[in-house]
Amino acid sequence: MEVKIGIADSNRELVVQSKQDAEQVKQIVADALAGKSPLLDLTDEKGRQILVPVTRLAYVELGAHEARTVGFAAT
């Protein structure tokens, strides 16, 4: 699934491809915003940790998990 994170006072967003499902990511974000952790802690598809201070979060956008197609698809 694709997760886009907006950082305050930055004109770029952080895009993370995660193996976690939308509910897991939503819970991690909710816990961070509730003050359970000072950092938003996500793990990408390659196992790397992405840490963002909660005080710098502008927004978090959760995208749908897309299955990649191979070849030409009739649309």
Q: Where are the domains of the chain?
A: 2-62
pLDDT digits 0-9 by tens, 11-54: 999 999 998 888 999 999 999 999 999 999 999 999 999 999 99
Handedness of CA 34, 51, 26, 58 (dihedral sign): positive
Q: CA 33 to CA 58: how far, in whole Å? A: 11
Other C-beta atoms lying within 10 Å of the C-beta of residue 30: 11
At 75, the pLDDT band (50, 70, 90 cuts) reads low
Cβ-in-10-Å burial (0-12, 13-18, 19+) of 10 comes to exposed
Q: What is the pLDDT of residue 40?
A: 94
Nearest-angstrom CA–CA distance, 16 and 52:
12
Q: Which residue has the higher pLDDT, 75 or 63?
A: 63
Asked whether the predicted pLDDT for residue 66 surpasses 70, the reply is no
What CATH number labels 2-62? 2.30.30
What pTM does this model have?
A: 0.77
